[in-house]
């Protein structure tokens, strides 16, 4: 075999391995999921539409008064990420959930607003203030956040 044939064989092996990469979940989420860019986009969109966008909408006046070279406002960050084939990919934990947090940035300084998790199967988004709290559906967490229960942060 020459060099180009070896390269083609290795590339094909990597593609096949990547196409069949799966993780198995133990406990509550037993179905096998295939992680990848499509799932990453769906998980990011779920957090954006169900948690971050409503926070931005409710605090619109707070964000519009800020001007800085650093981005201001709400932003989401995922706990486990990787770059596969030059693309950003969010990775789930072994329980099948994707974890992260939402921070509010005033200039370059960020302050944690909440922690979240996304069910890798149903894309349900849940949030909590910190580790001592239980996760609750994003809609319920947003209602509690609006009613002033966020003062415990």
Does residue 58 sit within a domain?
yes
3-state secondary structure at position 129? coil
Instruction: Give the confidence band of 20 by pLDDT, cuts at 50, 70, 90.
Output: very low
- pLDDT of 103 over the 70 cut: yes
Indicate the number of domains in the chain.
Answer: 1
Does residue 115 sit within a domain?
yes
Residue whose token pair is 């229960």? 149
Q: Which domain holds residue 116?
A: 34-152
Residue whose token pair is 């406002």? 73
Please, are residues 65 and 106 in contact by the beta-carbon 8 Å criterion? no
Does residue 53 sit within a domain?
yes
Share of the chain above pLDDT 70, in %: 65
- pLDDT of 100 over the 50 cut: yes
Q: What's the predicted TM-score (pTM) here? A: 0.68
């Amino acid at each position: 075999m020459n060099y180009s044939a070896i390269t083609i064989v290795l590339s094909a092996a990597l593609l096949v391995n990547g196409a069949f990469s799966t993780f198995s979940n133990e406990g509550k989420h037993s179905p096998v999921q295939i992680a990848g860019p499509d799932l990453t986009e769906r998980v990011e969109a779920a957090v954006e539409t169900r948690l971050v966008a409503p926070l931005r909408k409710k605090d619109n006046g707070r964000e519009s008064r800020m001007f800085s070279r650093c981005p201001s406002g709400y932003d989401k960050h995922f706990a486990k990420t990787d770059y596969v084939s030059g693309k950003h990919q969010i990775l789930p934990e072994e329980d099948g959930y994707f974890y992260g947090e939402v921070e509010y940035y005033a200039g370059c300084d960020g302050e944690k607003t909440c922690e979240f998790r996304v069910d890798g199967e149903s894309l349900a988004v849940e949030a909590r203030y910190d580790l001592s709290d239980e996760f609750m559906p994003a809609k319920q967490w947003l209602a509690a956040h609006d009613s002033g229960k966020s003062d415990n942060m």
